Every structure is written in C-alpha cells, then in structure tokens.
C-alpha cells in the first residue's frame, strides 16, 4: 500500500506571479495522481508539524520568524528567491507535518510506503535560514522525529533533486545516524555538495556536469550511491524527490527522463525492502516544467505501487 499525504493549504502558499515555485506545480502533481491507475493510493490529509518537531532541526529564531510572520498580500521576501504569502506558514506546517505523519505510519503499518505531495519544498532550508524556495526542511524534520521518537538508529536520506540539498547537509553533516546521499548538477545553485564534502563519513555527494544523461546518472547510482546505501543498512529511507533533473526543466541542464525516475523508484523500494521493513517515505521537492514534474512523479509513484 502507498499512502499519499497532502493538504489544501499547500496550494495556498503563493510566492507571487511569475515565481517558479507556484501553486500550479502541486496542482499538476495532484491531477496526475488522480487518474484511475492511482485509485489504490490511500489519501491522507497532512497534519501540522508541531513547534517541538521543528525545533529538533531549526533554531528557535528561525521557527518564530516563519510562524509569526505577517506577510502582506504582496508577499514578504526572505531572500532573493524565497517569498512568504499570508498562507505560507500554514502550508509550511502541513508540508513538514506530512512527512512526520508518514514516518509515524511507516513505523506501525507493515508493507506501507508514502509519497508526500506538498509544498513549499524543504531541502534548502538550513537550521537557521529559509532559502531556495524552502521554509522548513520537511525531510530533515521527519528524520529527526524518527531518531528521537521511534529510536531509529540509521536513517538514509536520498536526494535526487537537481539542486544540492545544502540545508539537509547543514543539519545532519555531523550526525552519523543519518546517511545523506545526493546527485545534483554542478555548477548550479546553491553551489554546495562537492564530492569532497563527506561530513563525518555520512555524506556522499555526486555532482554531475550539465548535460549528464541517463547512462551516466544510473552508473553513478549503481557504482557509488546504492552500494553505500546498502552498506549503511538503513532502518528508514527518506527521499527528497525533486524532478527538476528532467530534460525539460527550465532551471537546470541535466538530461533525465521519466524512465530514470521509475528506475530509481524501483531501487528505493528494493533498498527499503532489503533493510528497512519497507519503510520508504518520499517528499516532493523541485520540478518546474509542469508536464515533466507530473510525468516524473507518476513514474516514481508507480514504482512505489508496483514494488
């Protein structure tokens, strides 16, 4: 069974006209997952994350800044790329809360996986800063919740967004209970994630040059990232699922297709089945060509259903 976590509040976060991280992104994903072939998805309304859950990875000043912001209708700009609207704090709470709730469900329901169709995305948010369209680091909040509440000893975070998850690396770079692995284009925003960034042996960064296609992408996963993940034997697999490495995406220059997201989805299912009692939770990150975002998500979620 695959659970689909989302919430209407995530559609109300509005960074403004012309912003790439628009409500239309989530609308496209939800419409694509509303086909008959996905009737088996168990649809769940995402709860809010609690302040205590957020404070496990974000400092108190940052949490207060987001939750107590009073943006005008025209928006509150936190940095060059990151904008809050009046509905943004609620959306951010639901986005983080979705991944936390999915983790709780994975700990109690055998043979259950989850996809969190939420926004704003999260993997650029550091412990103290909103950036790169991200307010709270949704996957990091859920990983910390798993470590603290469920006494999980080994959490893998897999990030295939085209942009490096600098926030996730910032939060867990010295936490050996978390293995963070990432493929991402380099050079590209935010300029982090070099191969030499290894943390305390718990970071595996695989930067890819512009133009990288399916063959090279799969080779990196087969030869470097998947062996490290299996050696780590995670008890929970969390995925930062960005679909902006697709060849149609306007914000990057990698050359992946839907078949690559299906391929990687199959391998995430196998990883979770092999070591984590099927505990696999993916959360939406980037993807800015609406058709490619929708089709990439469909491919990945179908792999979760079929596995």
- Measure the CA–CA gap between 90 and 13, rounded to whole angstroms: 8
pLDDT tens profile 150-194:
999 999 999 999 999 999 999 999 999 999 999 999 999 999 999
Q: What is the mean pLDDT of residues 106-135?
A: 94
Rg (CA), the chain: 17
Instruction: Single out the residue of 249, 248, 136, 139 nearest to residue 189, CA to CA.
Output: 249
Residue of 13, 58, 62, 124 with catalytic role: 124
Using CB atoms within 10 A of its CB, is residue 18 exposed (0-12), middle (13-18) or buried (19+)?
Answer: exposed
Structure confidence at residue 46 as a pLDDT band (50, 70, 90) = very high
Q: Which residue has the higher pLDDT, 74 or 213?
A: 213
Q: In what order do the strands lie in the sheet with 155-159?
A: 42-45, 2-6, 113-116, 280-284, 236-241, 155-159, 178-185, 203-208
Domain span at 239:
2-306
CA angle 292, 295, 299 (to 5 degrees): 130
Per the structure, the count of domains in the chain is: 1
pLDDT tens profile 184-198:
999 999 999 999 999
Which token pair is 183?
């493929």
Structure confidence at residue 94 as a pLDDT band (50, 70, 90) = very high
Task: Establish how many alpha carbons lie within 13 A of residue 22's alpha carbon, considering only the half-sphere containing its beta carbon.
Answer: 11
What is the reported pLDDT for 109?
Answer: 79
The residue with tokens 């990150």 is 285
What is the reported pLDDT for 268?
Answer: 98
High-pLDDT (> 90) share of the chain, %: 96
Q: Could you tell me which residues are beta bridge partners of residue 204? A: 181
What is the reported pLDDT for 178?
Answer: 98
Q: What is the mean pLDDT of residues 282-303?
A: 98
* Local structure of residue 187 (DSSP, 8 states): S
Task: Establish how many alpha carbons lie within 13 A of residue 21's alpha carbon, considering only the half-sphere containing its beta carbon.
Answer: 25
- Measure the CA–CA gap between 46 and 127, rounded to whole angstroms: 23
Which token pair is 75?
């928006």
Determine how many CB atoms are found less than 10 A away from the CB of residue 259: 12
- Measure the CA–CA gap between 186 and 11, rounded to whole angstroms: 30
pLDDT tens profile 59-69:
999 999 999 99
What is the reported pLDDT for 110?
Answer: 65
Q: What is the mean pLDDT of residues 55-83?
A: 94
Using CB atoms within 10 A of its CB, is residue 231 exposed (0-12), middle (13-18) or buried (19+)?
Answer: exposed
- Kindly report the CATH number assigned to the domain that includes residue 193: 3.40.800.20
CB 301 within 8 A of CB 293: no
What is the reported pLDDT for 301?
Answer: 98
Q: Can 124 be counted among the known catalytic residues? A: yes
pLDDT tens profile 228-273:
999 999 999 999 999 999 999 999 999 999 999 999 999 999 999 9
**H helices of the chain, where?**
23-32, 51-55, 60-67, 88-108, 138-149, 166-172, 214-220, 226-232, 258-275, 290-306
Q: Could you tell me which residues are beta bridge partners of residue 76? A: 84
Does the pLDDT of residue 74 top 90, yes or no? Answer: no
């Amino acid at each position: 069974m695959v659970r689909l976590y989302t919430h209407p509040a995530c559609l109300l976060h509005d960074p403004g006209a012309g912003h790439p991280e628009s409500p239309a992104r989530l609308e496209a994903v939800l419409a694509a997952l509303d086909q008959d072939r996905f009737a088996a998805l168990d649809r769940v309304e995402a709860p809010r994350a609690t302040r205590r859950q957020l404070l496990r990875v974000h400092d108190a000043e940052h949490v207060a800044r987001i939750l107590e912001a009073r943006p005008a209708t025209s928006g509150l700009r936190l940095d060059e790329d990151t904008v809050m609207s009046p509905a943004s704090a609620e959306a951010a709470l639901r986005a983080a809360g979705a991944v936390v709730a999915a983790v709780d469900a994975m700990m109690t329901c055998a043979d259950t996986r989850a996809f969190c169709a939420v926004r704003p995305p999260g993997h650029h948010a550091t412990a103290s800063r909103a950036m790169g369209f991200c307010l709270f680091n949704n996957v990091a909040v859920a990983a910390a919740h798993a470590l603290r509440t469920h006494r999980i000893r080994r959490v893998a975070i897999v990030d295939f967004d085209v942009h490096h998850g600098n926030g996730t690396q910032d939060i867990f770079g010295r936490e050996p209970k978390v293995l963070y692995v990432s493929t991402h284009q380099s050079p590209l925003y935010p300029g982090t994630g070099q191969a030499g960034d290894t943390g305390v042996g718990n970071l595996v960064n695989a930067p890819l040059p512009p133009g990288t296609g399916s063959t090279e992408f799969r080779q990196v996963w087969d030869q470097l990232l998947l062996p490290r993940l299996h050696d780590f034997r995670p008890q929970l697999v969390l995925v930062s699922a960005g679909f902006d490495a697709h060849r149609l995406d306007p914000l990057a220059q990698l050359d992946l297709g839907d078949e690559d997201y299906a391929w990687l989805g199959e391998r995430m299912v196998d990883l979770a089945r092999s070591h984590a009692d099927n505990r696999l939770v993916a959360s939406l990150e980037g993807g800015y060509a609406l058709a490619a975002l929708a089709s990439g998500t469909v491919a990945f979620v179908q792999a979760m259903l079929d596995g």
